[in-house]
Every structure is written in C-alpha cells, then in structure tokens.
Structure 1
Amino acid sequence: MTETAPFPKLERGIVAILRGLKPDEAVAIGRAIFEAGIEAIEVPLNSPAAPPR
C-alpha cells in the first residue's frame, strides 16, 4: 500500500529522511530537525519496529 498526501512548497526544498529511527526517539529528533530549519521529514516504515500496516 502506498499513501500520499498533498505537500506544500518548501522554502529550502530539503526533506530529512530518517531511516532506522526508533519510535521512542521520533518526536525529539523530529523537533530538533524542524528547529534546525528543515521543514519536512520522511520516516520510512520498513524497519522491524514499524507499526503494522
């Protein structure tokens, strides 16, 4: 299954891709990236700790 959502135009045109992210680290890492000026993140759900589809 592939889902997409509308994506606004980014000021910087940068998307951080976070692979191998542990669920308990996700919020803190996402906030730090956003505070550093990166407007968008992608978290691939292909790790053993990913939620079920």
Structure 2
Amino acid sequence: MSGKHKKRPDPYPAGKARQGEIVLRRPWQRAVFVAGLAGGVIAALVAWVFGIW
C-alpha cells in the first residue's frame, strides 16, 4: 500500500441540489398530472375502505 488517500470529491453545490420545478406547459399535461395525484388518493381510500391497507 502506498499510503496515499484518494481525494474526496467536492460536495455537490446547494444551488444544483435543490429540487426542480414541475413544468406543465400544455393543458393535457396538467390534466394527466392532477389525475395521477387524484388517482393515488382514490386508490388509498378504496384500499382503506375495503381493509386492504
């Protein structure tokens, strides 16, 4: 072993690590996004009502 350590990479900049925004430019994209969110909530409610979850 040479005793040399690998240099640790620089930490990722906070400006690049922040979450991006959701860009929904077309009405159908918004509709699909909202339907997906609503579908998840409805599926959870149905599972809860029928005792699956």
Please, what TM-score do these two structures have when normalized by structure 2? 0.28
Give the structure with the larger helix fraction: 2
Structure with the larger RCO, 1 or 2 (CA within 8 Å, 6+ apart): 1
Give the structure with the larger strand fraction: 1
Please, what TM-score do these two structures have when normalized by structure 1? 0.28
